[in-house]
């Protein structure tokens, strides 16, 4: 990170940013072609969990390259100046990281993953029958690197 004064060093604060957001953006790459999607997610402090359809563009990209970049943002606000346009800026907190996105195969892994997602949005876990989880793919991002950044009103 270029500006140390904007870096978030606390893992607790990074975790709080992730837990406070509604959307995770995941960037995929194949050769020199990028692809980014907003997704619903779960987070257990170690991994990010997402679900996808059985087929689709994300799957095509992941078959060729499972290394992804992810992003979360919170407390985003435009900061204006009534007289000088160049003083306009943004206040925000964000987390950006990298990892390998692996498909989960067993019912136990898939059940854990879908419940991390449901826990994030509903605050509780749910009972899932195995046939229900066979209709979706569930993924775990094994985080290899992650950092936080904040920019406030200046």
Q: Which residues pair with 38 in a beta bridge?
A: 25
For residues 36-63, give the mean pLDDT: 95
pLDDT over 70 at 153, yes or no? no
pLDDT at 4 over 90: no
Integer Cα distance of 113 and 120 in angstroms = 11
Residue 152: predicted pLDDT: 77
Question: Is residue 90 scored above 60 in pLDDT?
Answer: yes
24 against 90, higher pLDDT: 24
CATH superfamily of 4-151: Electron Transport, Fmn-binding Protein; Chain A (2.30.110.10)
Distance (Å) of CA 151 to CA 62, 92, 109, 123: 33, 5, 37, 29
Cα–Cα distance between 102 and 19 in angstroms, integer?
21
Whether residue 1 is predicted with pLDDT greater than 60 in this model: the reply is no
Q: From 74, 58, 61, select the one nearest 138 (Cα to Cα).
A: 58
Query: Is 50 exceeded by the pLDDT of residue 133?
Result: yes
- pLDDT tens, 60-78? 999 999 999 999 999 889 9
| Res 148: pLDDT | 92
Check residue 154 and give its pLDDT: 44
pLDDT in tens, 114-126: 999 999 999 999 9
Mean pLDDT estimate for the chain: 93
């Amino acid at each position: 990170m270029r500006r140390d004064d904007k870096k978030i060093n606390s893992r607790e604060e990074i975790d709080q940013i992730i837990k406070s957001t509604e959307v995770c953006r995941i960037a995929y790459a194949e050769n020199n072609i990028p692809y980014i999607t907003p997704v619903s997610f779960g987070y257990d402090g170690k991994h990010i969990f997402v679900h996808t359809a059985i087929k689709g563009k994300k799957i095509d990209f992941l078959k060729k390259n499972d290394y992804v970049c992810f992003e979360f943002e919170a407390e985003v606000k435009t900061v204006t100046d009534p007289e000088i346009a160049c003083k306009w800026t943004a206040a925000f907190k964000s987390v950006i990281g990298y990892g390998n996105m692996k498909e989960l195969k067993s019912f136990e892994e898939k059940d854990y993953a879908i419940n991390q997602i449901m826990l994030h949005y509903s605050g509780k876990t749910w009972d899932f029958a195995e046939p229900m989880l066979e209709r979706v793919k569930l993924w775990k991002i094994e985080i290899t690197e992650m950092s936080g950044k904040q920019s406030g009103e200046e």
